[in-house]
Each structure stands twice: as C-alpha cells, then as structure tokens.
Homo-oligomer: A and B are copies of this chain.
Amino acid sequence: MASSAPELSARAREIVAAAREILEAEGSAALTMRRVADRLGIRAPSLYKHLPDKGALEAAIISAGFEESAERFEAALAEGGEPLAALARAYRWFAREHPHVYRLMTERPLARERLLEGVEARAAAPLARACGGDLDRARALWAFAHGMTILELNGRFPQDADLDAAWERGIEAFGP
C-alpha cells in the first residue's frame, strides 16, 4: 500500500495556494520556487521548511484538482438528464476553467504516492457509474474526453474546427 501524502501545515497550504495562483495565471513554466516565494514575500529556500520539494507542491495542486473535478462530476450526475452528456460537459468545463491545472494533472505519470488518498478513485467513479460498471466503455470514453480536451488545449485542431460537433459525435458514439 502506497503511503499517502502527509497533511500540510497551515503555512504549507498558504504556499500551495500561492503556487496555484501563479500556475493558473501564467502556466507551469512560471511555477518556480522563487516565484512562489516572491508572492509570499519570502525567499525560495524558506519554502523547504514547509514542503519537502517542488513535487509536493504540484501533488497538492493535483490532489485539489481531483477533488474539485470529482465534485463537478458528482454534481453533473446528480442533476439528472443524460449522464454521459452531463459528465462530458462537466469534464470540458473543468479543463476550460483550469487549463493549467488540468495539464498538470494529466501531462505526466501520476505521483500517486504523493496524492491525498482516494482522490483519483473518487474522480474516476462517476464515469464508471454512468457506464453501469462497463469499464471498457468508461475507459474508452475517458480517453475520448481527455483526447478532445488536451488536443484542444494544445491547439492541435484547426482553428475553424467545430469542436462541439466532434464532442457530440463522440458522446453519441459511446451513448446508450
């Protein structure tokens, strides 16, 4: 069993909050220890009194991202209506609202042992439920949603592509 991330002190949470503000505003290239420290009016080495390394900072942001997206997914299912379409909307919404966080959450292999326990599973559960436990279908749908999202974020579709239509196409292809 992988050991989970230790709880963060109040000061550590302030640091994570500052880091997230920088990330959301300027992207991961701007997320440096010196920039985070600057925003708090301290020097970079002082951050290490509260967090072991930059990875812990990122892991905390990723954990929060999982929790927030999980909340969205759960709310989407709770509202009734076609569950897959609702989930897709929620997925897309989260990524558009927090593109740099979404990137951080997906661009690298997950440092699962540094995440809050259960957050990944919680974020994955609503889709599995909406697929009635058909995990192959859930995985294919997730792949579709992630692909649409990240390819759009990376500007890989033509400027004039009708992405709403492509989303629609995918959802109905996997639909009930």
Residues of A within 8 A of B (CB): 106-110, 135-137, 139-140, 142-148, 150-151, 154-157, 161-163, 165-170, 173-174
Bound CA–CA A167/B50 (angstroms): 44
Residue in B closest to A103 when the chains form the complex, CB atoms: B107
Bound form: Cα–Cα A156–B139 in Å: 10
Q: Chain A: interface secondary structure?
A: helix
Q: A136-B165, A139-B161 are in contact. List 15 more A-B contacts (CB 8 A).
A: A106-B151, A108-B154, A109-B156, A110-B154, A136-B162, A136-B169, A139-B148, A140-B169, A140-B170, A143-B143, A143-B145, A143-B166, A144-B170, A145-B147, A170-B174
A108-B154, A110-B155 are contacts. A142–B137 as well, Cβ < 8 Å? no
Q: A144 vs B139: C-alpha distance in the bound complex, in angstroms?
A: 10
Given contacts A142-B151, A143-B147, A143-B151, contact A169 B109 (CB under 8 A): no
Q: Tell me the bound Cα distance from A139 to B148 in angstroms.
A: 8
- Max count, chain B CB within 10 A of own CB: residue among A135, A139, A163: A139
Q: Are B166 and A106 closer than 8 Å at their CB atoms?
A: no
Contacts of A167 in B (CB 8 A): 140
